[in-house]
A = this chain, B = another copy of it.
Amino acid sequence: MSTPDTSVHRLPNRGRYDRETIDAILDEGLVAHVGLVEDGHPVVIPVAYARDGDAVLIHGSPASRMLRTFKKGAPACLTVTLLDGLVLAKSAFNHSMNYRSAVLFGEMEEVSDLDEKYAALTLLTEALTPGRSSSLRPMTEKEVRGTTVLRMAIDAASAKVREGGPVDPDEDADFEVWTGVIPRVDTWGPAIPTNDVDVPDHVTGYRRA
């Protein structure tokens, strides 16, 4: 399969190609932005996803136009971006953002085998809410059959990482402007229950260190 050049062109020192960096970004994110081409036009749609070893899984309704397009072998791009902070320099020109992004190119492959689909859907639940799947009403065969699951190999992939403080040139030294980083933190508020069942640990402790 032909893929676009996956090398990071701009600011090449920010490019990373090791799987450890790419996997860490994929494992921390919850929402990916998936790109497809429709009648020659780009379309970008947010989706929940989960990494499954050397691949990323997405799922949805069999009626989804995006999933149907990918089932036919259309080329895909899947991007996950984590915003880590705002980088405030002395000039607008040198302002930046700290972020980590992973970009995957390739085609999606349908997961058709019922047992594999069951495992994939369980993994998606666990990736988004660790510890929850065993407490749930079990999936029915009808539900598993009624869900499309696609797998995209982590193959043609790259990451981009910007970290650290602002970089101001020496000639700006005399300008009295506060510089630094405002870090962004992913925070989860107290759970809002919709029934009276005791709140389980996987909810109270959700993404808390």
**A-side interface residues toward B, CB under 8 Å?**
2-4, 9-10, 30-31, 33-46, 48, 60-61, 63-65, 75-79, 81, 83, 85-86, 88, 90-93, 95, 97, 99, 101, 103, 105, 121-122, 124-125, 128-129, 132-133, 135-140, 143, 147, 165-166, 172, 175-195, 197-200, 203, 206
Asked if A143 meets B37 with Cβ closer than 8 Å, knowing A79-B44, A200-B178, the reply is: no
Q: Which of B33, B46, B172, B180 contacts A137 (CB 8 A)?
A: B172
List of B residues within 8 angstroms of A140 by Cβ: 93
> Is the CB–CB distance between A180 and B195 below 8 Å?
yes
> Is the CB–CB distance between B4 and A135 below 8 Å?
no
Cα distance, A89 to B78, chains bound together (Å): 27
List of B residues within 8 angstroms of A103 by Cβ: 43-45
Cα distance, A116 to B60, chains bound together (Å): 43
> Is the CB–CB distance between A125 and B33 below 8 Å?
no
List of B residues within 8 angstroms of A138 by Cβ: 91
> Is the CB–CB distance between A178 and B206 below 8 Å?
no
Query: 6 other contacts beyond A10-B63, A180-B191, A184-B186, with CB at 8 A cut-off?
Result: A9-B65, A35-B44, A41-B77, A86-B128, A93-B139, A93-B143
> Is the CB–CB distance between B132 and A88 below 8 Å?
yes
> Is the CB–CB distance between B194 and A181 below 8 Å?
yes
> Is the CB–CB distance between B92 and A121 below 8 Å?
yes
Cα distance, A37 to B99, chains bound together (Å): 24
> Is the CB–CB distance between A88 and B182 below 8 Å?
no
27 contacts across the A-B interface (CB closer than 8 A): A2-B39, A3-B41, A10-B60, A10-B61, A31-B81, A33-B44, A33-B46, A34-B44, A35-B42, A37-B40, A37-B41, A44-B44, A44-B77, A44-B78, A44-B79, A46-B81, A90-B136, A91-B138, A92-B122, A92-B136, A93-B140, A136-B177, A180-B203, A182-B189, A182-B203, A183-B191, A184-B188
